[in-house]
């Protein structure tokens, strides 16, 4: 028997991802059980799937890093001079395969390995319940691969180094495997296949919580995936999946925010009833006083003015973009000025609340929002040549945020709107990379202040420790 002896995190039993039934609190299979013995019942599979969500909560991955690195690797934010050492390499873009703030590579593959345990099970009869669990795991796996290829590989439209995708982990785990990189295109095809299979496997399933991966989440991800790949026909597919989210999501579960007070409270309220489990959220990682992703490793620890580290600030040039119109809803999400040791001073954001009525660092981690569907549709329509429709939808979105409408449309205007909507949520790096744009840091920068789109710095290096144990992984050129 060659399969690795595995364990299932006991914390998975505390992660309520589909319902609050007491059966979730049953003991996990005994630690040390081989894979063949780990899943013997549907309840066992449910517990292993809980472990998938548990691994997604890691602060080194979806639980914090995705949001933080997407800002710091862009022109949005910087680490204050008055810092305590966190994320300096990222802010300066001075990382290397040896010295880095990144632990995402391990974090995403941990999710994939756990998901593979569910997806690859061949013992249980494929009942509707089993198929549903496998579908959720496939969406989690696809989401992990998408972030891996987005961080560790070049843009698929660049035509450069497309053989440098990431390794595809077989469902039948073998610790002796020395996996090489798959091509970028192969990774995208794998992601699309998983998401389509996830949608099919969850057909007819009842959705009650936003901490569960759903067909709506898979459709939103597909709109982003097609927008990112940009192959022939992809932009129209991105439009179609965005429309699916906008027009066909269960309205009792998912819906956009339509008033300023609710929008502001969604981000800044200290009441968990206003910020967690809201219809605007399509997928979030649940946090509780008992179960969170690492205490003060929560994003609010770095973004909030009262956080434990309070070191990530937004550049004045970006804040001025939001303040172009003081009626813009997002003005209310700008926090206080940061340290006077920074020249010029940066601003705190108010999107991540340190403390709620439930305690510190327990607001849920929002990863997918309804608003993205609107903005994905606008960008995809523009790129497919449907500029009139793109402008019409851009104007609708601008009006929905209290802005003045645009008389014309450019990719810069579209990306500015995305930048204002998603600051503090980690989108900006991907928006720039997807569009082949340089990262230009116009202030609060000492090194790597103007990074061109084809620079190696926009492709995160595989860590040396991984290459040392797996000689079949080749480093991205230039590292």
DSSP notation for 391-454 = HHHHHHHHHHTTPPPPSS--HHHHHHHHHHHHTTTT-HHHHHHHTT--EE--SS-SS--EE-TT
Query: Does the pLDDT value for residue 32 go beyond 70?
Result: no
Residues 330, 264 contacting (CB under 8 angstroms): no
Q: Residue 306 is encoded by which pair of tokens? A: 């009262």
Residue 395 predicted with pLDDT over 90: yes
The residue with tokens 């590989």 is 153
**Whole-number Å distance between alpha carbons of 437 and 227:** 15
Residue pLDDT, tens place only, 176-195: 889 999 999 999 999 999 99
Supply the DSSP symbol for 349: E
Residue 444: is its pLDDT beyond 90?
Answer: yes
Burial environment of residue 14 by CB neighbours within 10 A (0 to 12, 13 to 18, 19 or more): middle
Please report which confidence band the pLDDT of residue 295 belongs to, taking 50, 70 and 90 as the band edges: low
d(CA 287, CA 295): 10
Residue showing tokens 């510190």? 360
Please give the pLDDT value at position 22: 24
Q: What is the mean pLDDT of residues 414-443?
A: 98
Q: What is the CA 434 to chain-centroid distance, rounded?
A: 15
Chain centroid offset of residue 216 CA: 15
Q: Which of 432, 435, 427, 456 is nearest to 158 (CA)?
A: 435
- C-alpha–C-alpha distance, residues 417 and 346, integer Å: 20
Rounded Cα gap, residues 79 and 341, in angstroms: 12
Q: Are 150 and 105 in contact (CB under 8 A)?
A: no
pLDDT at 35 over 90: no
Q: How many residues does the chain have?
A: 479
Question: CA dihedral in degrees (174, 166, 378, 347; nearest 10)?
Answer: 100
pLDDT band at 373 (very low <50, low <70, confident <90, very high): very high
CA torsion angle 370 374 376 378 (round to 10): -170
β-pairing verdict for 312-314 and 450-451: unpaired
Q: Which pLDDT score is estimated for 238?
A: 99
- Cβ contact 479:186 at 8 Å: no
107 pLDDT more than 90:
yes
| Model pLDDT, residue 293 | 57
Long-range contacts of 337-342 (CB under 8 A, 24+ apart): 338/80, 338/82, 338/305, 338/310, 338/313, 339/80, 339/81, 339/82, 339/313, 341/80, 341/81, 341/82, 342/78, 342/80, 342/81, 342/82, 342/313, 342/444
Element (H, E) at 274: helix 272-275
Taking CA atoms, 459 is separated from 79, 142, 228, 474, in Å, by: 20, 19, 15, 13
End-to-end C-alpha distance for the chain, whole angstroms: 38
Q: How far apart are CA 97 and CA 464, in angstroms?
A: 5
Average pLDDT over residues 88-104: 94
Within 13 Å, how many C-alpha atoms sit on residue 362's CB side? 14
């Amino acid at each position: 028997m060659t399969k690795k002896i595995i364990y299932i995190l006991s914390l998975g039993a505390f992660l309520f991802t589909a319902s609050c039934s007491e059966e979730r609190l049953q003991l996990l299979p005994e630690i040390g059980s081989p894979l063949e013995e780990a899943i013997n019942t549907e309840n066992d599979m449910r517990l292993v799937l809980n472990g998938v969500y548990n691994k997604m909560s890691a602060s080194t991955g979806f639980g914090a890093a995705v949001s933080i690195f997407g800002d710091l690797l862009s022109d949005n934010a910087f680490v204050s001079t008055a810092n305590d050492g966190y994320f300096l390499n990222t802010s300066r873009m001075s990382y290397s395969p040896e010295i880095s703030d990144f632990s995402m590579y391990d974090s995403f593959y941990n999710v994939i390995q756990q998901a593979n345990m569910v997806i690859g099970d061949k013992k249980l009869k494929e009942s509707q319940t089993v198929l549903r669990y496998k579908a959720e795991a496939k969406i989690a796996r696809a989401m992990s691969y998408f972030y891996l290829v987005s961080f560790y590989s070049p843009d698929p439209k660049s035509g450069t180094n497309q053989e440098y995708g990431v390794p595809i982990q077989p469902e039948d785990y073998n610790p002796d495997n020395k996996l090489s990189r798959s091509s970028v295109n192969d990774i995208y095809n794998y992601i699309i296949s998983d998401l389509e299979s996830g949608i099919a496997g969850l057909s007819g399933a009842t959705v009650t919580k936003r901490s569960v991966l759903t067909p709506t989440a898979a459709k939103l991800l597909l709109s982003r995936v097609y927008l990112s790949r940009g192959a022939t026909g992809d932009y129209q597919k991105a439009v179609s999946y965005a429309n699916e989210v906008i027009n066909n999501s269960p309205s009792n579960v998912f819906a956009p925010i339509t008033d300023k007070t609710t929008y502001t409270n969604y981000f800044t309220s200290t009441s968990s009833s206003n910020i967690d489990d809201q219809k605007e959220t399509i997928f979030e990682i649940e946090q509780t006083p008992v179960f969170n992703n690492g205490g003060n490793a929560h994003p609010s620890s770095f973004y909030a003015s009262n956080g434990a580290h309070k070191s990530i600030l937004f550049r004045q040039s970006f804040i001025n973009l939001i303040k172009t119109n003081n009626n813009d809803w997002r003005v209310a999400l700008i926090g206080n000025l940061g340290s006077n040791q920074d020249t010029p001073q940066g601003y705190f954001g108010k999107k991540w609340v340190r403390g709620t009525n439930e305690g510190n660092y327990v607001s849920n981690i929002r990863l997918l929002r309804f608003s993205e569907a609107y903005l994905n549709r606008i960008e995809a329509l523009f790129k497919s040549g449907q500029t009139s429709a793109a402008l019409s939808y851009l104007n609708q979105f601008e009006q929905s945020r209290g802005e003045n409408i645009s008389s014309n449309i450019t990719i810069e205007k579209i990306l500015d709107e995305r930048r204002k909507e998603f600051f503090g949520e980690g989108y900006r790096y991907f928006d720039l990379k997807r569009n082949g744009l340089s990262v230009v840091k116009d202030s609060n920068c000492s090194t790597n202040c103007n990074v061109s789109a084809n620079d190696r710095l926009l492709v995160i290096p595989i860590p040396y420790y991984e290459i040392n144990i797996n000689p079949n992984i080749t480093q991205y050129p230039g590292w």
